[in-house]
Structure 1
Amino acid sequence: MKRIIIFSLIFLQSWLASAQYDPALKLWYNTPATIWEEALPLGNGKTGAMVFGSVQKERFQLNDNTLWSGFPEPGNNPNGPTVLPQVREAVFTGDYELAAKLWKKMQGPYSARYLPLGDLWLTFDHKDSVTEKYHRELDLNNAISTVRYTKDGVEYTRETFTSFPAKAMVVRLTANKKNALNFRVDLSSKLRFTTKAEANNLLVLKGKAPKFVANRPSEPKQVEYDDEKGEGMTFEIQVKLVNEGGKLSATGDQLTVSNASSVTIYLTEATSFNGLNRSAAFQGKNPSIEAMSKMGKVSSISYDVLKKAHIADYQSLFNRVKLNLGVDAESLKLPTDLRLKTFSKRGGDNPLVSLYYQFGRYLMIAASRTGSRPTNLQGIWNDHVQPPWGSNYTTNINTEMNYWLAENTNLSECHQPLFDFMKELAVNGAVTAKVNYNIDEGWVVHHNTDLWAKTSPPGGYEWDEKGMPRWSCWPMAGVWFATHCWEHYLFTGDLKFLREQAYPLMKGAAQFQLHWLIKDPASNYLITNPSTSPENTLKKDGKEYQVSMATTMDMSLLRELFTALINAADLLKTDAAFKAELEKAKAQLYPYHIGQYGQLQEWFKDWDQPTDKHRHLSHLFGLYPGSQITPLQTPELAAAAKQSLIHRGDVSTGWSMAWKVNWWARLQDGEHAYKILSDAFTYINPREIRETMGGGGTYPNLFDAHPPFQIDGNFGATAGITEMLLQSHDGRISLLPALPAAWPAGSVRGIKARGNFTVSLQWKNQKLEKAIIYSGSGGNCRIRTSIPVRVVEVHAKSASGNNPNKLNVSYGIPPYEVVNKSAITPLPASTEFVIDFNTVKGKTYTILPK
């Protein structure tokens, strides 16, 4: 069966390859990486590798997305039901300091940390001579890293890929002279490990993860191990060599290659992780069995066959989308790091923007595949035992942002690991709901979680050992996750997914919230209490408060989910009583408010400060990724959101700037979206000590600089570029809604719109030339353009009323109140043309200017 799958993938590759190849889709450099942020990432959804490309001593830094510190630690706090009423009373009386102190009694321990697996080292017996013609690259066309150089007249080549079909990393070393390869192979880890050469061609590392890792350098025990049979995962790496010519030998913990003409290195690995509720130490899997089984399968297949199968599998996802923002032959002659360094001096670099866009899609394919864990703060790539913020799942923005590009860049399958994780969170979240809040229905997740799907409010933060309520006092992550289920349905039209996976998860998240909501005695609205606006503090009367009530983020999340569930219940013809309960609660939710400065209020009252430059603008969720605020249907709310963006400023952390690109795109301001996107191409030298969260940018290997590295900036920016070219959240498919002057001509092929439409666009002189729309589900297609257009294949008519296509509906107008109407600065008017035409499933339609 394994061979049948591999050969099928080879046939698939034959029609995906040559015509698709784009020589501009390469990250390349003329020097080796000497620091992690210069190395190039590979991944197959489970195994991650960073390739350094060194000449004398090559390093492959390795990760497994199931290797974490600790063990299942629910952290639920039975004090909750007693303390919660006290917290709420303090909030209602305006004693926010007391509320924060009380909330700390409801917290549990912090989440586990994501850990590095190990390192594969190749030490070469090169003479001390000049290295010539050095080149290293990551080719996004085929997800292969290549290193090439010449020593003493011999050209050496190393190719590396991580195969999803074969579940292994494969390295191929060749030289253009026979018997020229001489090197040693070692394995090591930053965790406890032993290494042994089991044969002259087989090296095995057995490791042990710590039961506890702390991020605060001041803590007395930063890394704590049990004995070899105690808590903490076990893991194993196996490396097998197959040589052509020469010989292999082993000495203790090392393999040696002598006078070979070529060598193929197969690497497999595994951990003892065995599920969300099992201790990996006492109930775990034997990683030796899994690593050995993978090795037995992969090492019996030739390198060429593995490579072709890898390329076919990868291209079946990657080749769906092609972006062309213009050609600049001169820029392609520059190494990628130099292009970054000179981006602003050269007035931009559109091919680099296209490369960065496709790099985001590449990272999604490399890090999130069927059966894998969802991507964490660093995707699957981490070199630290004490990584920034634990490199775990920060669920008040970062985990969600990781998946914004999954649907609109045509990678829906890569979204599935998040849905699988949600099923685990729902199990643990139901326990947290009962223990912490005495709520018997539904499930809840707070601002942070880990491999074992921890759902309780985590305390003990990195720089505050007592725990800060402004992080943990936020039981809304389940709501945000649940909106991803609805979005997946809107983009794919997969009714089976909606019925069997999405609806139960969405309903459970809403059930908890219906019990969590409480009536405000002053206004009679339903509100959340206590509440925070993620990671920001309420600034009032010269003080900062960490806990308040009914933040705009909370209320907009609830509206988004309740509306989606109401629509889902109609589609599935189910749950009439529950639907009525949702409709009643939705009508009573605390409304949006436009404050004294014309801004969208972040807090329960008009307490916003125009000088607040905080990186989180969570109160703008309704603009993006939500669908409640649009320039057409809610112009005053859209204008207020714009004012909030102006107050906060453009430059921030990497992920925050990426979110701002999406917001400005939704406001149909392509120039401002492009300005922030351009700022993100600021070169960040990883060798320079920079203030944490001290302004975003990009590292030499195109990883987003938070700083430090966080992958959500990459993912968010790719989603934002798509939003600049195509939007479909307001009941219409908007073609080129936020096209900047910097992209006067170009094309994009294969991006997705809600309604299960696949869209390709061509434009010139900043005007649409042609659009091709493939209908995956049939039904009405409503198109919005800035110029009059016609449909070649069918008759189109001017649109009116609501879009009858249930996969592409607008939210409508949410309730809002205005403090000072004169402070609202209206958005500039825009000319638009909107048409409807009926589509048949499986048919393609051509849109041309009239």
Structure 2
Amino acid sequence: MQSKSFYRPVLFFIFYIFCGKIAAQSTHKLWYKQPADYFEETLVLGNGKMGATVFGGVNSDKIYLNDITLWSGEPVNANMNPEAYKNIPAIREALKNENYKLAEELNKKLQGKNAESYAPLGTLEINNFHTGKTSNYYRELDISNAVSKVSYEIDGVKYTREYFVSAPDQIMVIKLTSSQKGALNFDIHSSSLLTSSSELKDNVLALNGVAPIHENEQYSVPLAFLANKERGTRFTSLVKIKSTDGTIVTSDKSLGIKNASEAVIYVSVSTSFNGFDKNPNTEGLDNKAIASDNLNKAFGKTFDKLKQSHITDYQKFHNRVSLDLGKTTAPDLPTDERLLRYADGKEDKNLEILYFQYGRYLLISSSRTLGVPANLQGLWNPYVNPPWSCDYTLNINAQENYWLAENTNLSEMHLPLLGLIKNLSVTGKITAKTFYGVDKGWTAAHNSDIWAMSNPVGQFGKEDPMWACWPLAGAWLSTHIWEHYVFTQDKNYLKNEGYSLMKGAAEFCLGWMVTDKNGNLITSPSTSPENQYLTPDGFVGATLYGGTADLAMIRECFDKTIKASKVLNIDADFRGKLEEALAKLHPYQIGKKGNLQEWYFDWEDQDPRHRHQSQLFGLFPGDHITPSRTPDLAEASKKTLEIKGDETTGWSKGWRINLWARLWDGNRAYKMFRELLRYVDPDGKKTEHPRRGGGTYPNLFDAHPPFQIDGNFGGAAAIAEMLVQSNENEIRLLPALPDAWESGSVKGICARGGFEISLEWDSKKLKTVSVFSKNGGNTMIISGDKRQNISLKKGQKLNIVW
């Protein structure tokens, strides 16, 4: 018989498990024991238009507000450099003569203005009149319902705050409660870094202002000189409080509550932006009226009703996909401590699931405004002078934001990017003619903004061609149109809108290419995004002809446009031109190191470990290089990645994980995925032994560094890519499954052809798979050496025991 001393610790352990004190890590909560001190520690909320960055402070709770349509500038003058194209013959002649230094200088003549900047709207500060010591502080973001919470105790009183940003009601809601009657006392201040003024009227705190007119390089000029009352996008933020037992208190520029037990704060924001081609001042929306209307409608609803409507709307997207990576033994720790533990090599499968779902959360929260996709920081920017203008960088970053849209079952979130592409096709027609002398089609260049700026950047000859002079964004972007179709099978979209955009991108490429000395089609001038070559005589430059990245994107653009033409059974003559040109493209070259050449010649890179790997576009996100169909090119791609190494910036690591997944090397992909989740200190934090470089900040934001959201999206997309890969004819299951994920399941992943996949595996072997067809169709299921052809009708599901 056991003594009582034996049972006591056992019972104690069971009690703690029952109370939730000992548990595995959450797959859906970020939580912390302290408020955020830095932007990279905050918790973010958004409804695809309005964004909120919550610090969760005790005495002062700071909330940054954003509206995705608040940018500097106004509609772009696409005809800004009408005779730029006249320089092209001289550039091509210099390249023909192998005079790369001259070509580099002349290439600067093909430059225009820089992109505009995404602007911060304002800051809301809730000042709590607390006295006493704080204990039991807790802060969380629950991505299963897109709600954030803060709680703490002072002198025996428990205070809580709950935050969400609703898409159905276009409102931010903050509920404050105290466990003791009448203990809530606070006031609210509203301010902005932009030209603005605040006022209080009818118990509504209003902030009205205007975004500046400038290019992104002009921030050294005081804002007073940049603002113009007759120009720029106007903005409004409104704040109102509802309370049942407290007293509303006001001053000239603050709104507050006195002696309440519960209070609900309603925050509404709006701008005058009315489309990429409309002057936001003279043709703008009535931002004050819109903000007021949204506030008044929401104010008439209860907190519970608003919250339920918000959760129902959010979960219809979030709940489509679930992921289980098997048993975990990781302890329950705050997210920042959890990241540090993971960085030390410890197992935490639920952190990996959390990171995947957090990427989906961020896309749902930042990409629901047509024509205005998630930018470099998604939706959340506190800076007047944000990194890289927080714009749309079209040589990888904006596209990487959307790699998870279709395959993680968030097709609706892809639509804002597709809308921007449509806008770019308008300005891009002028860019094609005036900068490149191409009369048909459209194109875009390195950067864009809310005004669909499509010209090559560089401040009219002041910037380096290595990044400023690149005209192939249209070819890359056009492949997103095909991706949307091939995942959704939405033939109406392809017919009525998508195909014409794809055709326009292909037409530009046809008109832009020239013939080399071997009779092959190439681009001239050409650059490989942001990289530089080193010639045998020591010249370092970016301008050349026939860059591999250009031709890879053109291959993909032509291939997908041909397929779209066949699906719609139209444009047979044009299709024939594309097929003929495709056969004449300068072929891929394998260099002396066994790598896939980036340059027309087998030159060295100025930086062999450069963060860009644009020459591998055909492997991913393209699909014309594969281990099965083009083994030599796949092996050369692998060699290129090995030369570059694994150490790189956040977004680049996200891309490389996807590339390794496409090479079916799950363990290498997983190694880099773990490195992507390497803990990085907030940018402004000073520590004795700072952790810097590419990785993940305490709030799971991607560290480029600084914060760029594309790494979050690329990393989340890579998890899906490791589990399911597809093309128009086949679906490959568990193609890059790492040893670490020995058993698990996933539900709701989408595959090309309009299929939705759920599967379960054990001992790294597929056990069961469920295939649902949205529109009916045929495909081949592949896992390991086993293949099975299936044919499904619309709405039919097939369950297979593998």
Give the 3-state SS of the residue equivalent to 2:732 in structure 1: strand
Q: Tell me whether 290-299 or 486-495 shows the greater mean CA deviation.
A: 290-299
- Secondary structure in structure 1 of the residue aligned to 2:556: helix
Q: Deviations over 1:147-168 (max 9, x none)?
A: 1111111111111111011111
Identity %: 46
| Equivalence for 2:528 | 533
Deviations 1:153-201 (A, max 9, x none): 11111111110111111111112222211000110111121111112x3
Q: Is 1:630 matched up with 2:626?
A: yes
**Displacement, 1:284?**
2.2
User: Residues 680 and 692 of structure 2 are in contact (CA less than 8 Å); yes or no, is this contact kept in structure 1?
Assistant: no
Match of 1:25 in 2: 28
Of the candidates 202, 206, 211, which is equivalent to residue 209 of structure 1? 211
Range moving further from structure 2, 603-612 or 88-97: 603-612
Q: Counterpart of 1:501 in structure 2: which amino acid?
A: E
Aligned mates of 1:91, 1:63 — CA distance in 2: 46
| Equivalence for 1:136 | 139
Q: Which amino acid aligns with 1:396?
A: N
* Structure 1: distance between partners of 2:634 and 2:511: 31
Q: Does the 8 A contact of 2:370 with 2:417 survive in 1?
A: no
- Contact 2:681 2:690 (C-alpha < 8 Å) held by counterparts: no
Q: Distance in 2 between matches of 1:610 and 1:237?
A: 49
**Equivalent residues of 1:213, 1:222 under 8 A apart:** no
Find the residue that maps to 1:405 and give its secondary structure: coil
Partner amino acid, structure 2, of 1:437: Y
Distance 1:225 1:244, change over 3 A: farther
Q: Distance in 1 between matches of 2:652 and 2:691?
A: 10
Q: How does 1:435-584 map to 2 (within 5 A)?
A: 435-460=434-459, 466-520=462-516, 522-541=517-536, 542-584=538-580
Q: 1:653 aligns with which of 649, 659, 675?
A: 649
- 1:691-770, aligned counterparts within 5 Å? 695-729=693-727, 731-770=729-768
Q: Do the aligned residues in 2 keep the contact of 1:41 with 1:49 (CA within 8 Å)?
A: yes
Distance 1:372 1:143, change over 3 A: farther
Structure 2 distance, partners of 1:222, 1:458, is 23
2:478, 2:505 within 8 Å by CA — same for their partners in 1? yes
Q: How many residues align?
A: 775
Asked if the contact 2:680/2:693 (under 8 Å) is kept, the reply is no
Of 559-568 and 709-718, the range deviating more from structure 2: 559-568
Kindly state the Cα deviation for residue 344 of structure 1 after the two structures are TM-superposed.
3.3
Among candidates 590, 594, 597, match of residue 590 of structure 2: 594
Equivalent residue, structure 1, for 2:336: 337
| Distance in 2 between residues matched to 1:215 and 1:223, nearest whole Å | 13
The one-letter amino acid paired with 1:257 is: I
Distance 1:611 1:550 in 2: 20
Query: In the alignment, which residue of structure 1 is the partner of 2:600?
Result: 604
CA distance in 2, matches of 1:327, 1:578: 54
Q: Deviations over 1:31-51 (max 9, x none)?
A: 000111000010001111111
Name 2:660's counterpart in structure 1.
Answer: 664
Shift of 1:227: 5.4
SS, match of residue 404 in structure 1: coil
Shift of 1:214: 4.2
Determine if the alignment matches structure 1 residue 48 to structure 2 residue 51: yes
Answering whether residue 92 of structure 2 is matched by residue 88 of structure 1, we say yes
- Cα distance in 1 for residues equivalent to 2:772 and 2:781: 13
Which residue pairs with 1:311 in the alignment? 311
Alignment check: 8 A CA contact 1:212 1:223 kept: no
- Deviations, residues 237-256 of structure 1 (Å, cap 9, x unaligned): 00111111011021100012
Query: Shift in Å at residue 833 of structure 1?
Result: 2.0
Write the distance in 2 (CA, Å) between the matches of 1:576 and 1:494.
21
Check whether the contact 1:551–1:604 (CA below 8 A) recurs between aligned residues. Answer: yes
Q: Deviations along 1:93-147, whole A, 9 cap, x unmatched?
A: 11111112112122111110111110111000111x2211111100011000111
Quote how far apart the aligned CAs of 1:278 are: 2.6
Cα deviation digits, residues 566-613 of structure 1 (max 9, x gap) = 111111111111111111111111111111111111111111449601
Q: Does 1:198 align with 2:201?
A: yes
- Please tell me the residue identity of whatever aligns with 2:128: F
User: Could you give the per-residue CA deviations for residues 646-681 of structure 1, whole angstroms, max 9, x where no partner exists?
Assistant: 000001000000001000001100000000001111
How far 1:688 moved relative to its partner? Answer: 4.3
Q: State the alpha-carbon separation in 2 of the partners of residues 665 and 74 from structure 1.
A: 42
- 1:271 paired with 2:224, answer no
Which AA in structure 2 matches 1:204? Answer: A
Counterpart in the other structure of 2:235: 235
- Distance in 2 between residues matched to 1:659 and 1:226, nearest whole Å: 38
Q: Could you tell me how far apart the structure 1 residues matched to 2:353 and 2:406 are?
A: 18
Q: 1:119 aligns with which of 120, 123, 134?
A: 123
What is the distance in 2 between the residues matched to 1:67 and 1:836?
50
Q: Is the 8 A contact 1:213 1:386 kept in 2?
A: no
Structure 2 unmatched runs, 5+? 1-24
2:6 matched to which residue of 1? none
Cα distance change of structure 1 residues 431 and 346 upon mapping to structure 2, 3 Å threshold = closer
User: 1:827 maps to what in 2?
Assistant: none
- Secondary structure of 1:342 counterpart: helix
- Separation (CA, whole Å) in 2 of partners of 1:844 and 1:489: 21
Instruction: Give me the whole-angstrom Cα distance separating, in 2, the residues matched to 1:246 and 1:529.
Output: 71
Equivalents in 2 of 1:396, 1:734: separation in Å?
28
Structure 1 residue 367 displacement after superposition: 0.4
The aligned counterpart of 1:847 is 800
- Give the 4+ runs in structure 1 shifted more than 6 A: 689-694
Q: Once the two structures are superposed, what CA deviation does each residue of 1:452-474 show, in whole Å capped at 9, x if it has no partner?
A: 0001111149xxx8111111221
AA partner of residue 547 (structure 1): T
Residue 197 (structure 2) pairs with residue 166 (structure 1): no
Structure 1 position 843, deviation (Å) = 1.5
Instruction: Give the superposition deviation at 1:489.
Output: 0.9
Q: In structure 1, what is the Cα distance between the partners aligned to 2:588 and 2:248?
A: 70
CA offsets per residue over residues 289-338 of structure 1, 9 Å max, x none? Answer: 1111211211111111110010000000000000111343643x100000
Q: Label 1:692 to 1:376 Cα distance change in 2 as closer, same or farther (>3 A).
A: farther
Q: What TM-score, normalized to structure 1?
A: 0.89
User: What SS does structure 1 have at the residue aligned with 2:140?
Assistant: strand
Question: Secondary structure of the residue that 1:193 maps to in structure 2?
Answer: strand
- TM-score between both structures, scaled by the size of structure 2: 0.94
The 1:561–1:105 alpha-carbon spacing in structure 2 relative to 1, beyond 3 Å, is same
SS class of match (2:405): helix
Shift in Å, 1:283: 2.9
Whole-angstrom distance in 1 between the partners of 2:327 and 2:319: 19
- The one-letter code matched in structure 2 to 1:353 is E
CA offset at residue 223 of structure 1? 4.2
| Partner Cα separation in structure 2 for residue 708 and residue 215 of structure 1 | 18
Q: CA deviation at 1:226?
A: 4.5
Task: Measure how far apart 1:215 and its partner are.
Answer: 4.5
> Is this contact kept in 1: 2:666–2:738, CA < 8 A?
yes
Q: Does 1:835 align with 2:788?
A: yes
1:469 partner amino acid: P
Preserved CA contact (<8 Å) 1:53 1:59: yes
- Are residues 401 and 837 of structure 1, via their aligned partners in 2, closer, same or farther at CA, if it must alter by over 3 Å? same
Q: Secondary structure at the match of 1:594?
A: coil
Instruction: Choose 382-391 or 579-588, whichever is displaced more.
Output: 579-588
| CA gap 1:382/1:739 in 2 versus in 1, 3 angstroms | same
Cα distance 1:543–1:222, how it changes in 2: closer, same or farther (>3 A)?
Answer: farther
Q: What CA distance in whole angstroms lies between the structure 1 residues aligned with 2:109 and 2:348?
A: 52
SS at match of 1:165: coil
Report the counterpart of residue 807 of structure 1 in structure 2: none
Shift of 1:81: 2.4
Corresponding residue of 2:17: none
Whole-angstrom CA distance in 2 between matches of 1:353 and 1:51: 24
**Match of 1:105, SS?**
coil
